Structure 1
């Protein structure tokens, strides 16, 4: 018998799961729970035999601090005990783990108060004749029909795994509970409940001598444990001490899980996975459950609700503002939460969502899993995020925390100055008025709250607006800002021109947001998620051909497939939008020093703003290039008359190349103004301090990066795929595209002209990016070359609010795989063919032009010949 290898265990999250059973009418309690409970009750007599070894309840509680809640917490002489009722054995608890305080060393790495680093479903159970309490970890991803023959097989093949055991120290006052000492799992001794340093990527263990339990509080449905954990991290030759405060919540999950709602890929929600087994299947029914809050009408209002009246929910969504939040921002952060009221009204609920200030002396605790909050983090990080804690059995959002980094205002300042400083004179200075900054903060607040409601980014919503409509005061006022969804990265209206008079330049909650909230949150009286599917699909079908309601999935910014769903773009035509944006950038350039300096100031701020302008120019070019070789992606269903894939129209791809010719092949002089550069080079922060970038070098690196993207393997492979499917009439072939690029880059060579420095740089960069595909050693060097550009773009185009882990499912990025066996593809042949055509052209042109031009041709010819190992 061959030995079997257990491989890829990290990929299989279902290796330890609970078993929940369902019928055609309702979801029932897990059979696993009932079987264990029966086994526990059978051993009561054995306890009496060992009673001499147990602690007397009366003795234990004497002079102890007792906190009552979901179960009693007893604190005595530095020891902590849980007094767990038998009725809570084998019940589902969610162990929620959050960071409560951090030192400088990891604050600057983006780890801050309020961040949720790991959750797990656990159960307490009595074992070994009631002498021990064992804790199992559950992944409730599998459900089975209660009457199915397959039920026993499911029970046997998807069992929980035990992670910890506790000795029974004694029994409760009326013998209806069991007492265990829990220090070891919260004071750093054991990592079974939490392994924070590994979860944060530090890979170390707590030093028990410098770790302890700080406090434990018991609430009606939750136990909150705050720990101090210390370790030491070695980085290079230095050892850095790290002490964190971590809060664990042991949260009693609802006895009756919320009715699940099945996700639809045509609406963007975070999801949690579920597999359903039954005898009648011929394949497992795999579903994704929408993550959403449990909004239900009160019992007395249900008929009014179903009749179409607006009613208040039984339990509204409430966020509390961290008292550490500066006073001047609180009003607009709260307004950003309340902006979602209109969306919930579309779902039939009024007064569904609120935000309230939390007073300094409030008994509420932002670390309590019953409290949803907007946590203000003192940090130099410039970001914000809105993750949620989800019941993985149903997709119910139990609580959420927006993490608001203090320095997010630096991003808002940069975006607004560069994108709208020409049309809004109030955002030209180094510091904005509090009113103006607060207004921008409101937009970020609304966006992050959208994530806490379960919404993913809708990067395609901005593509539904015609570019020229963004210059219309009436259109932008009516439609609201820059896109149909505030969940897009459609920042501020860089298309509007000074003469347009557009005032609505900031994103707001739009048509898609109201539609998506209505779809996920509208309550119905259907018994199961299967029964409500027809009505949910009909809601989507009502809008399936209206681009204002289209959901465009987020993509990898370095490998955009569908150009309609890009980050930071506006409108339905990137070329037109980019040209309008450039008009405004040209107006900014002569004003950089005026906007950033006062008498006696140095030019550092000018250099930073200058780099921001260059970054915005790069962003426009990047948006345009992604139209070339682009594929329009849909999620069609039978009957909607849509195709899953379609090439970007050939004419639009050619229009994109025209833009690249004018903006990238011929580097714009206005962007490298000599008067500006005599005062300051472009500047950017780096890990070793402020960096000043010499202009010609910056041009070369940025042009190289864009050319590398222009002819990257994935783009050409997609063009080949589309040509095969749709033919040359509809799809631009990679061969024709490369010929068009060569003819323009080498136009002066073909005309036998002498080449200036800029043209030589262009040809050198282009030859090099073609050579990369034929030499893997060079590919590694190219990756290093692009590191600087990538680091810069991370500042110019930050991966804003990207770290969302909702429930047990991390949102993926939409992609189309085309790179398999690329070494044997036509793409590689076409690049080599281009190199050979350039090689021959250089040979024919060797005697043309001035001395520098001749040397340049000789150099390029040698590079190609050596790389392709051509015979001389």
Structure 2
């Protein structure tokens, strides 16, 4: 989970505090630490403790003592915690269906910010703090850093009273947690605009609970908003949601951070260090990781496996079905071997949650406990969020979230992607051992996120495609070099391939990445001192594709794609499509004919179309594709290398043969006769999507740039000519043009029209603007339109079918109007 947090201004805060003390007590003129605002109860208008915290109070001791009196809530804050760094995490607990178009989920963190509680006169302030800009306190520039990064005040409270020994201050937090504060809200400006949110309805909003634990406080809010366009039950004009606010005390001494290197995938924290001797601020990026320290440092230095002082422990939610617990436990502890590569034994452990009798104070909401939560929800997903210290990147806690229906997605994908060669997958009642292994690997994947690892979408491309058909290779190496890739199943193996592995597993990259991020370098005093050693670890694996990190964020690298396997997208997708054709022929046999119901057949058929579209997308990425390989200058490796011309042409030809033609097999007659779902339009959409992606401005920009480093490169004009030849091949052959092709040909003309007429410059992913009107694109498009106009004029007489002739007449008219718009 990535964070974006702000900055500290302790000097000015201390100044304000000192001024406040001076006006209240003669003792305050003596220098004092900022977190001890007064040793005696100051003279004020505050009520006595017993007047505020009455006998009716329901109190709970923890980080702060919390009190509830009727519908009012109070925090009793120890003065020793004033000025201490805390993390405020705002997380969506429950949301209505369809909020944000379905892209916002329960469990999503909406805000994470560093805060401090400060006393100013007879007020308590919550200040938002940041470590995004820092400088050593001993340097003069630290004064400027603090003065130019003054933190905002999130909220100000009146002091209601003091504890009887004056060591604590008491504030009323009811209004704070009942208000619609943007910095803590689950509805950002975009969502408010989308759903036309007018305001928070105070009469229907309340604090559901406040719980205090030794290191954190958890507040559950029920908020109801008046909204003109709610995502569900529109007639109510209401959006109701629950928010969970976690306030977490950060460690007194931050962990020593480790500098990030983009050649190894980690979630990160960023800072601008103004202590640098360079002529500019020095941006430092630290990785997110747990704090692991060996019990026996001497043995650790000798290279022995040593247990950590505090291992990473996950507890199983008591709501987890008993038969699934062993798979979850194994999924967590699969990482033990990876941590051994970093010198730690039993570094990560999974336990059953204690019973009430064993530990009455245990709670999944206690920040001291990381829990695998089992959520009764129809959502098909799993998540591995974590909370980290923005000062150092130390991961403080994480909860793995498993949604009940997630295994249905895996059952479906297992059937569709492996059913052609795997008899065990040809059923709606997947074997428990297969389901258990799938769950185990999903948990391992999500735990990887919670350990600091993002997706490594390049991991599966390190294996040769043909190796996926070999039992010895797949059972040893799995189907990807990392569990962090989205490489779920072996969809390459063909009927007759015996003994191959179908389900993913941990890979060599996982141990390598754990070693790089978690192995201690004891003799390095500063993060910068670690860099030479860290570089050596990377360079020792250079050239071995299994240890390459492939960023998920790219849309142009065919070797770093989601849901793909193998190092050749064309060959892999050819095998995948061949398997889907077999499955399509037998889908009714494996579903509706067994259940006497069409629900599963229709659902699986829709997902089959999705699988086909993914395989097509893997090949489409090769067109205008660029391989990305992170490196440092001393490695003498080019970071970006265009896909060779021959490979791009082969990709275009594959799409022409497998996407622009020969798609009738995708229409399942058994499904169509029992489900009016508009399959003709669905096919149009599936064909047009790769067409538009190939003929996109982003593709043209990459093709243009590739000419700077590759003389014999695939050019934009080559792409246009190849695509036109493939889409309009009937004009030369006289072959009948079916409805799928007619739709596609019209879409082609519409795409060229857009390229000719759209006025606004296109902003690419690199945030650079590509001025289409000033490039060669329109010149080429105009030439292609003229060539098509001539072909249509010369060829339309070949076709006797009236529907086809009308289609060609229409296409000719459309082309003519683009070239010479009507006045």
Which TM-score applies when normalising by structure 1? 0.85
The equivalent position to 2:119 in structure 1, one of 121, 126, 130, is: 126
Aligned to 2:247: 250
1:477 lines up with 2:475 in the alignment:
yes
1:638 lines up with 2:633 in the alignment:
yes
State the alpha-carbon separation in 2 of the partners of residues 93 and 755 from structure 1.
Answer: 67
1:342-390 residue CA offsets vs partner (Å, 9 max, x unmatched): 1111111111112222256453222222221222222222112111111
Secondary structure of 1:845's counterpart equals helix
User: How far has the Cα of 1:444 moved from its partner?
Assistant: 1.1
Aligned to 1:262: 259
- Over 3 Å counting, the alpha-carbon distance change for 1:682 and 1:422 in structure 2 is farther
8 Å CA contact retained: 2:4, 2:113: no
Which TM-score applies when normalising by structure 2? 0.90
8 Å CA contact retained: 2:16, 2:120: no
Counterparts of residues 116-265 of structure 1 (less than 5 Å)? 116-128=109-121, 131-186=122-177, 188-189=178-179, 191=181, 194-198=184-188, 201-202=191-192, 203=197, 205-235=199-229, 238-265=235-262
- Over 3 Å counting, the alpha-carbon distance change for 1:850 and 1:634 in structure 2 is same
8 Å CA contact retained: 1:274, 1:287: yes
1:702-740 residue CA offsets vs partner (Å, 9 max, x unmatched): 22222222222221221121123311x2x1112123222
Aligned to 1:518: 515
The equivalent position to 2:677 in structure 1, one of 686, 692, 696, is: 692
Secondary structure of 1:835's counterpart equals helix
Aligned to 1:615: 610
Query: How many residues are treated as equivalent by the alignment?
Result: 795
Aligned to 2:813: 862
Aligned to 2:732: 750
Aligned to 2:413: 415
The equivalent position to 1:568 in structure 2, one of 555, 560, 563, is: 563
**Range moving further from structure 2, 226-235 or 483-492:** 226-235
State the alpha-carbon separation in 1 of the partners of residues 747 and 190 from structure 2.
Answer: 40
- Over 3 Å counting, the alpha-carbon distance change for 1:834 and 1:75 in structure 2 is same
State the alpha-carbon separation in 1 of the partners of residues 740 and 456 from structure 2.
Answer: 39
User: How far has the Cα of 1:407 moved from its partner?
Assistant: 1.8
Aligned to 1:287: 284
8 Å CA contact retained: 2:199, 2:227: no
8 Å CA contact retained: 1:113, 1:377: no
State the alpha-carbon separation in 2 of the partners of residues 232 and 622 from structure 1.
Answer: 41
Aligned to 1:739: 721
State the alpha-carbon separation in 1 of the partners of residues 249 and 511 from structure 2.
Answer: 32
State the alpha-carbon separation in 1 of the partners of residues 594 and 447 from structure 2.
Answer: 42
8 Å CA contact retained: 2:493, 2:500: no
- Over 3 Å counting, the alpha-carbon distance change for 1:752 and 1:590 in structure 2 is closer
User: How far has the Cα of 1:749 moved from its partner?
Assistant: 1.8
The equivalent position to 2:446 in structure 1, one of 441, 445, 448, is: 448
State the alpha-carbon separation in 2 of the partners of residues 360 and 108 from structure 1.
Answer: 40
1:720 lines up with 2:715 in the alignment:
no
User: How far has the Cα of 1:692 moved from its partner?
Assistant: 1.7
State the alpha-carbon separation in 2 of the partners of residues 113 and 661 from structure 1.
Answer: 42
Aligned to 1:393: 391
CA RMSD of aligned residues (A): 3.0
The equivalent position to 1:73 in structure 2, one of 63, 66, 79, is: 66
1:751-777 residue CA offsets vs partner (Å, 9 max, x unmatched): 455645555444334333322312339
- Over 3 Å counting, the alpha-carbon distance change for 1:843 and 1:520 in structure 2 is same
- Over 3 Å counting, the alpha-carbon distance change for 1:752 and 1:775 in structure 2 is same
Counterparts of residues 768-807 of structure 1 (less than 5 Å)? 768-776=750-758
Aligned to 1:430: 428
8 Å CA contact retained: 2:24, 2:43: no
8 Å CA contact retained: 1:230, 1:242: yes
- Over 3 Å counting, the alpha-carbon distance change for 1:771 and 1:61 in structure 2 is closer
The equivalent position to 1:841 in structure 2, one of 788, 791, 808, is: 791
State the alpha-carbon separation in 1 of the partners of residues 98 and 616 from structure 2.
Answer: 37
- Over 3 Å counting, the alpha-carbon distance change for 1:17 and 1:126 in structure 2 is same
The equivalent position to 1:486 in structure 2, one of 470, 483, 488, is: 483
The equivalent position to 1:820 in structure 2, one of 755, 770, 774, is: 770
User: How far has the Cα of 1:276 moved from its partner?
Assistant: 0.4
User: How far has the Cα of 1:458 moved from its partner?
Assistant: 0.6
8 Å CA contact retained: 1:144, 1:154: yes
Aligned to 2:34: none
Secondary structure of 2:299's counterpart equals helix
State the alpha-carbon separation in 1 of the partners of residues 120 and 735 from structure 2.
Answer: 88
- Over 3 Å counting, the alpha-carbon distance change for 1:49 and 1:507 in structure 2 is closer
8 Å CA contact retained: 1:185, 1:193: no
State the alpha-carbon separation in 1 of the partners of residues 797 and 181 from structure 2.
Answer: 73
Point out where structure 1 has 5 or more consecutive residues left out of the alignment: 1-11, 20-29, 684-689, 780-813
State the alpha-carbon separation in 2 of the partners of residues 759 and 225 from structure 1.
Answer: 58
- Over 3 Å counting, the alpha-carbon distance change for 1:403 and 1:630 in structure 2 is same
**Range moving further from structure 2, 845-854 or 166-175:** 845-854
Greater RCO (CA < 8 Å, at least 6 residues apart): 1
Point out where structure 2 has 5 or more consecutive residues left out of the alignment: 27-37
